[in-house]
Structure 1
């Protein structure tokens, strides 16, 4: 649903003004009008001279809008010429009548065949009145994107699930997507919709978007690629979709623009009108009708999706969900964000904080004797994974320390002391930036990687963990220090789940730990075959080792965990898969990460016993889904 105040602001200028703001196109139209070149439009003859004279003047949005406000026929003809709706055959769009438009789009005709072929018509089976309902497009192996108002025709939410509706005789309405349905082309390419994954809630804060799933099939067209950043006003784009006859609009005007041919795939070039900040939509001036709901808005030069068309006002403007919003929803895959805070509206709000060496002076870092018995940071073994060799001295922060990987430019291991009795609840304030004590090119920053890529800055030391102290100032320094790039490793957003992030809280609240104190070691598992994104090799597995003192025995208590984002890593589009947190023997972490803990720590592992290790076999060990799954006593 589009907020009415946003709509009012964005449609103040008629679309015609944007079309004829292009001086070469304006001059071409003026010349044709003056020469009587539109003989197939006799309705224009009476006003052709006035149209030519007006277009001979310099572009002026308000004057153009006033002139054409009472000349709907002339406006429709100009739209048909300057914002054509072109037929498509075998993925190739036809030649435009306008020389200026053809000059603009012809260089991209071959390159856009593949993206055009990934857009399809959503058809219905067993619906009471409708044969098809809108447009959709493929974004991943088995995912389709369309509009909320399209999906609601055949789907509805029931509890936490989305189910297919039933018709008047009780049969389920089914949907399929046909990636052909081109003019005078009998071929079809149909695939059934297997599941309605998510339909956005019908509130102002949520974009008009829905996610569907199809069965994986070798015959599916390639997934479309999402733009890594939002477009800017004035950029050349094209809408690919299936315009349908729309009873809300003037039949005569539609006939002149669409030639009385509807329900087939069309290519509609145009421009971005506005990309306002703080909202989830942009506006464009491509020619569309009702069936275009769910259309892909493609960057003309890149062929990437820059928006999801969802509606508009005839002769005014059209609206599309921004690519950054689509990307964010697909990345986190929680399918529930509705607030502006959760959506963040892209990366526009990111501000990098510049720290000085003085800002980080006096940091003692991780204390090995924090628990009483000495718990030193582990050493790296000769079998350490790719990226760990040559690790330098620790960087010290408030209550934690980090050892960097010189080759990966990411942390190799982090160590933090947590005092639960002195924890202070603080309001989150992101202050990401470089650590000035080492060179920038030894760290991975936002502009270089996290901004354009589909990864979050994954805290190795949790924000809350060092947020404790005798004073609020001390706690604030601890939390603020976690927002340095040296503490971040690329992680898919859905990795940041409760069972992983809250392990420290689980141990503090469910174990009989002395003084509510624990020490935690966290880091990635680097492997030589880790996949590369924008020049950065991204690890798939992570480890966490929690050390405490058992209040009953006074002895060390150690539990180790691993988590994988394998199966969630993006390829050409976005890939999603299950992930789990596992409790494992400490030796498993040592072997995978190439670490060696002290003899005392190794002996204190709750899974240190040979019997326990053998019983757990060689699989993924114990799955952790909540506090009750954690083992905090020695397994005999």
Structure 2
């Protein structure tokens, strides 16, 4: 998505076949005087010279002068592409000169009213955002929306292993109109498909009314859609990417309600989407962030021509062509209604389904178990063993009790347990399921060939100029811990770390991240679950290990995390899933094991670290950036903010040894991606709320960790100010904080945009 508007090209697009002189005259007078001018014959009604000159220059294909650009800035889209309120599944008289047909033409209005009844808002009753986006009915119990919308509350890819994220669910409201038109929220029961190539998802919803009829999807090829008039129907939200005053003017200061937004289709254009370039259809309706998942309804047929998924303000918006979805047998298998027969050959992106199936094989291992009813309390009876036998004996009774002789006789009765067949098991087997063992994950102890972070990782075949993403440097090199060999960084498989000597935590990490299937599953005969790669059982606890290349006193031992009464998680700074890739299975497994070094660990509150408890705070932002990227590779820098004023926790690093550790309250991440026009850098800050944390709890006092956190997209310069790091000039030049991409990354990931302030 371009960050700068090509005014000349956009004006030519808007003016195709239309005489805009009278319209602009009227609109300029209306803006200046507050009322519509009765005539356009007076001198004051004349189109301002810079505005007229802009249209004339555009018609000649010439670039606009700075004055012409400034003059047209406020009128291009707001004055030509309106947003119309939807009330009671309809809309009133449309007075906009270009769009009076919406109400004057009975056929068009009837078609749009039918579509309006089938469009709803995707709700998140207990989610991180007010709502997820827009969806529309495509089947008897099916709605369509964007993949990036569904991924807010869903895990998985493809059409098999798709589940709701633990603790999150979704609903669907067909009303949510201006003036309080809130209907009944229907329950989303399951996710049927998340498309591996297109930004599209299909969700099953219970209770759709008969008035919400499935909309027909067009089979007309995208190149043949140029100049067709459409209405986007959806729920535009206030969008931080766009000027607030213009949004307030266009939408009357009211957002998140159902709107009708007319526009025109133009060419097909490649745009970045989930690590690849996709051929999307372009439209110019006045859409905002909440429109994600909206349908593009053709005025003359009522058919859906596309699925809106993103865009750039006053430049171009993108939609998935409906015909592209109709060309996919996996999409048609859901019984969606298309107005033409399927093609006889598979689409060009068919191979992406195979990639999705390969990634789905990994997903279940990362999912939290489904909620289960809590068992009734067990009753335990203990008596002396009168038999005098030394061996352990386990037997079961018809009432579900278990008798264990070890040489005490213990009877355990689980309330409501069904009778089980009597059998003899070993003592070890009887205790396996209820004991969490401390297990050291698999690791390669030969560090002689670790490549570490690769600054050329984003370079692709065919690049004429070098693509380099340098690691940040440390302003005060004296704070960096030195290895036993005198080096200032620890290289691992696919990532590197620099350690703060006094704090014994990472100053920063630098990692190469990819979603490429060939590197995530290099040997398809192998298993890639956490258990297979790490050697951990379902109930095993990870025992992290010290790095032998660094003195022990420069590291915080695993004991601190496992003997602190659960106050902290061992938070991966470099995520295991991110760097577990390689040309060979051995490379991948080595990278997986390397993430369990305590050098890659920072104390974090449990909900902050555990994706199973809600939003994946570390990973969601990367996934959001990937939706805007042109390749599946990322360079990621991350670490804690080691503030001297951080609060101190008194814990243990050995059975009889106390340790005082300053606990970071903030963690930062910088994600660098390839985009259509080069590189883009995104910076985000995650902050733990440690306001209730005692400075140094008295001996024996239980420590309770608060679980609130805040996510903010911030300027790269702020990361530097608070970490003592310096990022390369070329990354500052592509910092996305003040750009369209940066605003979209914030909106999609549920982050605010703001500067970092001193506490």
TM-score class, shorter-chain normalisation, is: 0.3 to 0.5
